Each structure stands twice: as structure tokens, then as C-alpha cells.
Structure 1
Amino acid sequence: MSPEQRLASLLAMHGENELVEFKEAKNQYAFDKLGKYFSALSNEANLCGQSRAWLVLGVKDDRTVVGTQFRTKTADLMSLKKEIADKVTHRLTFIAIHEVAHPQGRVLLFEIPAAPQGLPIAWDGHYFGRDGESLGALNIEEIERIRLQNRADDWSAVTLPEASLEDLDPEAIEQARKSFARKNPRLIAELEAWDTPTFLNKAKLTINGKITRTAILLLGLPEAAHWLNPSSATISWILKDRDGLERDYQHFSCPLLLSVDEVFHKIRNLKYRYLVEGTLFPEEVEQYDPYIIREALNNAIAHQDYTLGGKISLVEFEDDRLCFSNEGGFIPGSIESVIHADAPETRYRNRFLADAMVNLNMIDTIGSGIRKMFQIQRNRFFPLPEYRLNERRVQVTIIGRVLDQAYARKLAACPELSLDDIMLLDRVQKQQPITDQQARHLKKRGLIEGRKPNYYISAELAEQSGDKAEYIRYRAFDDQHYKQMIIECLEKFKTARRSDIDRLLLDKLPDVLDANQKHHKVKNLMQSLKNQGLIENDGRIWRLSNP
């Protein structure tokens, strides 16, 4: 649903409720008030079992649109995400801020996420809620209702009474000790004195000496995987050629602590060479940064929904892509929320497993892993990680080469670009859609040009990077330029077929247009000349009207 459609649906409501708040805010709106409503609407969305709530500025209580002048500068408006996160618990912030040009005035739609399961949201240390249309403190009973949500069963913490230490791989246990020592250097002296049962308890792999599903998953012998049935402890590596045909594959099972390294070494991480801006010497890097491979793979293990019975997969394509996927929805909701929060996750699907993986140095607790993946790709001038999310699966694609040389040069020429802007430019280079608000923001900064949906990198940025030729390839000339070419062709050759005109113009139209769009562009140019009385046709033959 577009922002305009969303506004229409909200205006069609009978009135405000716990999940929707209208504010006139004709000129300004208090930042503290905005934060209190963020807390209240987020908590109420959780309690109502909804994924989001809405705060609407520029609309009166009776749903009359009056428009708002609150933060009219795009940069000031977008900075609200960080400003809100700085004072909200767990650094939660808006899913999105939508700006709608309504006929009666500018309207802002603040899309507020529901409080995470088990975690009520506070503004500046205080919990807020709603009683009908009124803003007030969230009562103790409602706070506890949210907190109790986090006590749901954890699949990874379930103990297996019939399993024993004999089901664990000695090599995996030894590797676990080494990893634990690297993660906890202050405990090395104590670690040497711990026997195996003590170590497993301390590392949170077992519970009071009882083998858990986590212990089998990370340290279990391959033949012990049956203890996890019907869940699967499998990572599948698949190699596909450029046509998507399978060339090779291998399945890896318990112990996943060791299997991660085996999967890592299956990947053909070739050397990639490219010229760095401002030097004649090529830069040589591995196609895939090792940190990114391990982070993506370990995240898939930690966040897999094992109750669904599916496998973790890593598909390696010969056109320089890695595609990681795991079962289960993406709990934070969106990649943007993770990037902006840059903080530890507040809720895990497999809390016990995640804690064990932290202790074994497989994942970290500071919550910056995904952001670091984005920064690594940005610093290499490679395309950013691409996440595809739905309710049952998370898919992450990593590209191991420069996708668009012009985009890479522009990043090198403008190191001050924010990660938010780079993420949007990355979508432009991949020819993925961006919203009207995002397009206005990039155009205001002089980063893109063109018309929806055919945006391209701007002349200003091309000028900075010296990439003027690339800019010309994507920029459209004035229509009169192309019309004059048609006229000159007919003046010289007297007649021409449509195929002749196509050969004349198609390769001169901007590359941002696809083949079908170019075809229609030529058709429209010729129709315009005909309507002007400048050219005419006799069947398939075109000529000047007044030769």
C-alpha cells in the first residue's frame, strides 16, 4: 500500500484508537511529545497483536487535513530516526517516515513498530500507553503482560534426557574450549582446571549436566543428529553455473561448530583485481571478505527456525554471488531498523543457542555484525548485502565483484556519504525501486537525476568522479535532439523504414531505459513529428511531409 493509499485508509476510519493518533501540528510539534506517542503507540501495537501503529501530523482530530510545516527539510525529517532511537529503550525507531502531498496540505505518516515481544518500550525512562484516545502512563499490569511474552519455550534450550556426553564429538569439544578461551581470556586459568561437564555448563551448552539441543547442534557427532528429529541440523552447499544449473553440492551436519569451517573452505574465494581511483596500480582483494561469510553463516545457524524442519543453505553462483538462506522470519522486522539501531538484538528465536554461540566466539553481543557487513562491502566499493525477507525465510545475497564501475568510482570520490545514502544509491545501481520521498532526498543532495522509475547517478556526482562518459550513457537528451536526427536522416535519404529509424536511435537512447522502453520512445518521437505535420508515412515507408 502506498503512503497516499495508507493516508486515505486512515482518514476513512471512524476516529482515533489505540493504534492511530492524529495531530494538527500545523506549524511545529514538540519533540518530547513525539517521543511519548512513539512509546505509547509501540506498546499498544504489541498489546493489540499488531505489527505497527501510526502517528499522523497535519490532520485534525475530526480527520480534516490542514497540512503541517513540521521539519520541512528532508534531512531534518530523516534525522528524527536517530534522535528518537537515542532516547528510546533498545534504540527502537520508526519503521519509516512517509511524506504525503495531500491536496489540502503536506501530511506526515510516522510508521511505528510494535514493541518487541517481551520488551515494553520506554521514552526517556518512562513507559507510555493509551486509554482510548488519551495518552498516559502504561500501567504495571500491561508492562508485565509484555514482559511475560518473552518466556515462551526456547527450542534450543530443551534437554534430551537420553542423550549423553558420548553423543558429543571430542574434536568439537576441544575446538569449543579454544574458542571459549579466545572469547574469555580472563578465564583461561580456570578453564584449564574444568573437566568436560563443568566446561559445557560454563559455556552454556548444557544445563546442569544435561545435554541440550544446542549441545547436539554445535558439538554433536553426525550420528547424534537423530536426537533433533524432526528438526534438521544440515547446512547444504550448492555450486551453480552462470545459467543456474547445479554443478556440485555437499551436505554438512553436526557438529556445526566444525562444519562452519568446512563450508567456508568449499567456497571458491578467488582474487579480484580492480583499479582504485587516483592510482595506476590495481587493488587485489578476495571476492568475499571472510568476516562476511562467517557472519552470514553463523547468523543463519543462530536464527534458524528449527521447528520448521528445513535446512540452512549456501548457494555459490559462478557469476560471483553467494546466497545464504535460513528458515524463519526476520525478527527485527527490517534491515534498516538493525542498521540504524546498531545495538544488540532485544529478542532471539533461540536465546540459549545464541548465548552458547557468543561464548564460543561464533557471534557477538554488541549487535553490529550486519552493519559491519555493509561497511566492509562499502569500503571495497562492492554492492551492499541484499536481504530478501518474508514470514518464513531470510535470504542474504553477497556479490563478490564491482557490479557497476561508475557506482564504485562515485563511492571513492565521495567518502563522506552516509550509509543511508549509500544504501539508496545501491538500490539505484541495482535498478531497484526507491520511494518518492527517497528520490526527493537524493535529488536534493544532487546524487541522482531522471524520472521515476528510471533514476541514474547525477551529473554533479559524475563530475566529482570524472565519470562524465558514464553519465552521458544514462542521461536522456532533449526530445528535440532525437527528432532533429530523424529529420536529418529523411532529408539525406528521402525515405526510411521504421527499422532504419530504430538503428539510428536505439543505441543513442539512455541506458537507463530497457529495450521495450526504448522501442516505445522511438514510436512516440515519430508520432509527435507526424502530429506536427513534419513527417508522414505510406505504409511502412516514412518521408518528410514537405521535402
Structure 2
Amino acid sequence: MDNIGKKESLTIEFKSDDPRLSDNDIVEVVVGFSNTEGGELYVGVEDDGHITGIHKDHKNPHSLGAVISNKTVPPVSVRITIIGEVRPCVLVEVPKSSSIVMTSSGKILKRRLKFDGTPETVPMHPQEVLSRLSNLNRLDYSAQPVLNATCDDLDSSERNRLRKIISSNRGEGNLLDLSDKELDMALRLVTKVDDHYVPTVTGLLLIGKENSIRTFLPTAEIAFQVIEGTDVRFNESFIKPLLSAFEMIEEYMKAWNPEREVQSGLFRIPISEFDQRAFREALVNAISHRDYTILNRVRFLINDEGLTINSPGGFIEGVTIENLLTVDPHGRNPTLTDALKRVGLAERTGRGIDRIYEGSLIYGRPWPDYTESNSTSVNLFIQRAAPDEAFTKMIYQEKNRLGRSLPINSLLILSVLKEERRADIHRIAELTHINEKKSKVALEQLSEAGLIEARGTGRGRTYMLSSKVYLKTSSLIKYERQRDIDSLRQAPLILQLAEKQGFVTRKDAVELLHLAEPQAYRVLKKLVEEDKLVLQGRGRGAKYLLKE
């Protein structure tokens, strides 16, 4: 093998070993990988992937592994493999670390891509170390004292606003009985440093003076923009105490969020272009979970396609797009998030993401989209879409019947069935990211409530929305179409096809009737028993002919 067959990337690095590559160069790449996404280091390979071989000092994997372990803090355990025989190279597989790693000489490094797309290993700046620790849940940046700030940097009028919010949002009522100093301590807005109290990052963000926030936390910028076509209709950026910022953004949103009504019996259902409760949770999430060590702004953009919310800082360790709705709730800034929960601004269960999804699901709209998120930002997109009125009425009526909202798993499943028309439990679990056991429980509950119908048994069992979705609408045509082919019509259709092409196979029946293979087999078997078809052959070659 003359070429390694790969290209350098954020997680792949080639190093020539001719002349001998220094141990420090190897260790620095290992540290960079550990502090980023992990990766593969190939020693004895040129930048173009051409294998030139390794120096004799690097032919012993155990010795090389010991060097790496001894020169990294904490020690990094790597897997080393010798590749090839005639002109061997070394593969060093480096895991992503769950802490900050440095060289024994004190260098903290990371991997990044240059403008031309090639990778490099560079030092991590102090704020990047804080960001990394925050992402790993090893540091609560929002609980840190603000250096050089004093309690004079807190605004008494913002503290009064905080008290009003606690009262109006049904926060923890006992907080209102506390003095200002006690309130600040209870919400960890201040912390003790050298026998005196100073504001924490949370304190300055929530009730700090505007000029003080600009001075000490210039990263706390927020932008609200409205673009129609290519015309900018509204564009404002600001740095303010978060409590004041929340109120401003909600007022801006009201002006650009039209509402319509859907009639359901004697009641009218108000439906906003973007669900107000969902937006509030998305607003709180964007501001409370953002990375305040990154000099960037939280951006709210409304355009012809929909609403986009961009928040600096990627998902924290353990959170992915796939497990957003199932992972245990935990955030980047626990102290800030806890304060927002206690004053009544944030969802107390930590499941605000459920409410964001609910705001689209209950109206039969497309799901919130996080697919544009990356390692440096979380991007939420909520598409503009007209509500499905029949679906909305069904959800509204069921909510009234139960006296509560439907569980998020039930809403996800109903949404999938609305789009897929019919699906089995494997498909439902795949699309919702709900495991099959929980999916089965939700499906049984929905079936008992009469919201879905099940057809078939065993592995061939499928589910579809019930006629409730379309009751009291102009017609039941959609429901009839969704039911596919009624069982009473299955036999005549099979016989018609057999007459046209001379025979029918099990595969033909599956495609014609939209049934699982076991169900199609039972239909064909019944026609044979009724002397309407004759089975010819066995296995895959079996055919069913009309009986003469």
C-alpha cells in the first residue's frame, strides 16, 4: 500500500517521520484531538497521503503509547496500530476527552480548520477553555463571579422588575418575602469573594445595569430582525438586562406574529403564525443555554420561510438532534437556568423543548428543525405553515376531554401518522426517536382513546389516524383515501388482477392492497379455500390462478 487512501480533516492528521518526528509534535496533535472531537494520527505519512514509513524509534507501539501517556495531563490512553509490513506507518487513535487535556509542559491545544479547509493544531485561548469546560458540564460559567464588578453594578429597578415577574408568572412566592440582599443570595445573583459580595454572571445578566453589562459581558448581545423578500422591515441589536430583553422581544414578536381563528363547535381556537408559548420557551432556551464566552449574539429572524433562532454555542456534551426529546434535561448555565425557573420564566421540569415541539405538533405543522445546528451554534427553524384544521380540532377536542394536554410522545406519533398515512411500530420508532417499548405504550393509549386505528396482527400490524380527524369537516374523502382499500374490496381487486394478467403472486397482493406480506398471504389463502383461486408452485415462485 503506497497511499493511506484518506485526506486530512479535523479528525485526521498525517505526519512525516523522515526525518524522525519529535515526541512533542506527536503529543501536541494528541492533545489537540483530545480537546476537540478525537481523531486519527498517521505517523509516517506525507500530507498528500503517501506512505513513506516510520522511524525505528516509533516501531514499538507500547513505547510510543507510554510516551504519549507520560507527556499528557491527565494521561491520554490511545490505541496504536502498525499498518503495513514493507513500508509500515503508525495509526494513533485518540479518544475525545471528557475534560481539558494539556501537554506536560502546560500547552492546551485544539484542532481547527483553516480557511482553505486544511486542519491545524493551535493553542486554546482562556475563554475557549471556559467554553469547553462548560460544554462538558465541568464548569457553570453563569455561577462565576464577574471580575472587577461590584454590587453597585446591579440595578435596583431591574430587581423590582424581577419581583413583579415572580408575582405575575407564579414563581416561587417565598422569594417575595426576602430582602433585596437575601433575594440576590437565594437566586445566586451574588457570591462571596474575599469577605464581600460581588455579582455573578447570572446576577449581572438578569439585573445588571446596561452599561455594566456592556463593560463586563459584551457577549450578551441580542438581535431581532424581520425581512420580507429582500427588504429589511425591522432590525435592532441591543445589550440589556435579560428580564428587560425578554419583555422587549415578546413585544416585537407580537407585532410580527398574526393570529387567525378556527371554529370548533361553539368555541373558537386562536392560532398564531408561531405558537406564543413555544416561542417563549425557545426564547428562554436560546438565552439561558447560550455560550456567554463566545463573542456573538443571539439572533431572532422572521422571514418569508419562517422563524429562525440562532444561539451561540453548540449542543452540550451528550445532547444531539436525535435525542433532544429524550435526553435528561441539563443545560450549559445551571445557575442562570435555575434562577429563570424559580422566577417563573422557564419551564420548571426542564422540558421546555417539549413545549417548543408541541407548539407545532398540535396544529399539524412541520416539526421544529434543528438540523442546521453545529459545534458553534444551535439553530432552530420553525417553518411558516397553515394549520391542518381537522387535525387541530381533533387535538383540541381530545385536550378538552382529558382536561390536560396530550403527552409529547402521543403528539409525535399522531404527527407521523398524519404524514405517513400508515406505519408500523418500527417506522414510528425510527421517525420519532422514541424506543419501541414506549411507542407501543403510546399507541395503545391512542387506540383506546379512538384517535388511531390498528390493522393486522403481529409483525404486520400497522396504524393510521382514525376518522375522528376528519369528523365535522366538509367530507370524509381524506379519511377514505387514508384507509387505503377496505377489506371488503380486497378479494374483488385480487380477482380482477388475476383475470388481467393471468395470475397473481403474493408480492402483487402486497403492492395492490398495501398490506404486509402475512396479511396478503391470508387474503390469498382465503380465496383458495373459497375455490376462487388455485395455488401453483411453492415458495417465491408460487402463483395464484383463477379457477376455471
Bigger relative contact order, structure 1 or 2 (CA pairs below 8 A, ≥6 apart) = 1
When Rg is computed on C-alpha atoms for both structures, the one with the higher figure is 2
TM-score normalised by structure 1 residue count: 0.48
TM-score normalised by structure 2 residue count: 0.48
